[in-house]
């Protein structure tokens, strides 16, 4: 299994779980994203070199940006423009999507962190819109 195939499986599972909240998996960006009036809520996925057919290491970042999003970085990133940025890898949570069993395990871990970090902050911000 390669990174794109594994990510498609993981992205579909996450969209199935969080789709009722408006999240959609974007294959081209490798993100699960939802937009509200003032914010973009995102789970972003990236991979690293050294992957094999049995081991695909990924990082998962939970990001909330104000809208409209500033892709060129003209706005200074701070708590007002980016209320949440949290990398699992930077916090010593290492994930592998090298096979279906690993994808299932990673899915459970991502859901735990999503429910702990992203959803409460999203609900808090949506209540102010």
Q: What is the largest CA-CA distance in the chain?
A: 45
The verdict on pTM exceeding 0.85 is yes
> Residue 53 has which token pair?
């057919």
pLDDT digits (tens, 9 = 90+) for 53-112: 889 999 999 999 887 655 566 656 666 778 999 999 999 999 999 999 999 999 999 999
Q: What's the domain range around 92?
A: 3-126
pLDDT digits (tens, 9 = 90+) for 17-68: 999 999 999 999 999 999 998 899 999 999 977 788 889 999 999 999 887 6
The count of domains in the chain is: 1
Q: In Å, how far are 61, 80, 88, 106 from 103, measured between CA atoms? A: 17, 34, 16, 5
Closest alpha carbon to 34 in 58, 47, 17: 17
21-28 contact pairs (CB < 8 A, 24+): 21/119, 21/122
């Amino acid at each position: 299994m390669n990174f794109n195939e594994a990510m498609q499986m993981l992205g579909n599972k996450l969209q199935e779980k969080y789709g009722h909240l408006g999240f959609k998996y974007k294959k081209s960006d490798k993100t699960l994203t939802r937009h509200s009036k003032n914010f973009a809520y995102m789970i972003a996925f990236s991979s690293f070199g050294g992957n094999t057919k049995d081991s695909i290491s990924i990082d998962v970042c939970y990001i909330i940006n104000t809208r409209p999003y500033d892709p060129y970085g003209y706005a200074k990133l701070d708590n007002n423009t980016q209320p949440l940025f949290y990398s699992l890898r930077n916090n010593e949570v290492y994930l592998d999507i090298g096979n279906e069993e690993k994808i299932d395990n990673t899915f459970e871990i991502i859901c735990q962190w999503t429910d702990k970090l992203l959803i409460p902050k999203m609900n808090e911000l949506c209540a102010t819109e």
